[in-house]
Amino acid sequence: MESIAEKQQEIIEEFSLFEDWMQRYEHMIDLGKSLPLIAEEYKTEDNIIKGCQSKVWVHATLEGDQLVFTADSDAIITKGIIAILIRVFSHQHPKAILDADTDFIDQIGLKEHLSPTRANGLVSMIKQLKMYAVAYQTQLN
């Protein structure tokens, strides 16, 4: 299994092929289409990530000692962002998720999604994924 750092590197290389923001966004939208979708039964108010202008639902399950995420969003750019995050963090040990940094977002030219405006959800999404990791880390111990 690839590590979080390896997956991040892979995504950085993928995005470096594009010359402008439009291609990067189109790629991100495509990635959104391959997002492992959350089951309808988990699309509840409780699973909505607070702090996003669009709705983002995330669900996590433990498979062995690895966390597996599914998600969905009603906005397709947001769906692309959560798809990238899940590609990096899914099928990893909770500890690895907690230890990981997320500098790669900056490196793939999506830095504007990191600004702390209220409209923005990326920071909240990362926080939520790490919260799941904290919860399941405790369960594993």
Q: Is 47 in the site for other proteins (CB under 8 A)?
A: no
Rg (CA), the chain: 14
52 is a catalytic site residue: yes
Of 48, 35, 49, 139, which is closest to residue 95 (Cα–Cα)?
Answer: 139
Interface residue with other proteins among 116, 119, 138, 139 (CB under 8 A) is: 119
Nearer to other proteins, 20 or 40 (CB): 20
In whole angstroms, what is the distance from residue 68 CA to residue 86 CA? 8
In whole angstroms, what is the distance from residue 83 CA to residue 88 CA? 9
Who's near 36: CB < 8 A, 6+ residues apart?
68, 69, 70, 71, 86, 90
Could you give the angle at which helices 76-89 and 21-33 cross, rounded to 10 degrees? 70
Q: How far is the CB of 23 from other proteins (least distance, A)?
A: 10
Nearer to other proteins, 3 or 53 (CB): 53
Interface residue with other proteins among 2, 5, 6, 21 (CB under 8 A) is: 21
| Contacting range for other proteins; rule: CB under 8 A; set: 24-32, 36-44, 94-102, 131-139 | 24-32
For residue 110, give the amino acid letter.
Answer: L
**Whether the Cβ atoms of residue 73 and residue 56 lie closer than 8 Å to each other:** yes
Q: Is 75 in the site for other proteins (CB under 8 A)?
A: yes
Q: How far is the CB of 103 from other proteins (least distance, A)?
A: 21
Positions annotated as catalytic residues are 52
Binding site for other proteins (CB under 8 A): 21-22, 25-26, 29, 53-55, 74-78, 112, 119
